[in-house]
Amino acid sequence: MFVAAAAALIVAILLGLVRALVGPTIYDRILAGNMIGTLTVILIAVHGFLAGRPEFLDIALVYALINFIGTIAILKYFRFKDLGHAGTDHGKAKEDT
C-alpha cells in the first residue's frame, strides 16, 4: 500500500515537474512548485511509514510550513519586486516605494 502510494506521489511529482518546465507563465511554474512541495510533504510522511521510522513526520511538518511561506514569499517578490514591500493599502499598490 505504501509502495503504491509512494509510486503515485512520485509520478505526480514528475508530472508537476513537466508543468514547471514547460509552463508558459510564471504563475504556472509557481503553481507546479507549490504542488511539488505539498506532494513532497506527503512523500516524506509515507516514506516514514514505509521505513517504519515515523520520526520522518517531524521533517514533513517543517517542510509543510516552509513550503507555504516559500510560495507566499515568491508570489510577493514577483508582484512587488521587493520582499520588504509594505503590500497594498486597501487594494491600491503604493507607487512610491
Partner 1 sequence: MDMILDGLSWFFVLLGSAFVLIGAIGVIRLPEVFTRSHAAGMVDTFGTGMIILGLCFQTSPFESIASALVLVKLVMIGFFLFFTSPVSSHALVRAAMADGAKPLLKEGVELEGALKDEGDKPS
Site membership for partner 1, residue 51 (CB under 8 A): no
Q: Is the Cβ of residue 15 or residue 51 nearer to partner 1 in the bound state?
A: 15
3-state secondary structure of 97: coil
Site for partner 1 contains 61 (CB under 8 A) = yes
For residue 52, what is its C-alpha cell?
517504519
The DSSP result for 47-86, as a single string, is HHHHTT-TTHHHHHHHHHHHHHHHHHHHHHHHHHS-TT--
Output the smallest distance, CB 83 to partner 1, in A: 14
Among 83, 84, 86, 90, binds partner 1 (CB under 8 A): 90
Q: Quick check: 19 binds partner 1 (CB under 8 A)?
A: yes
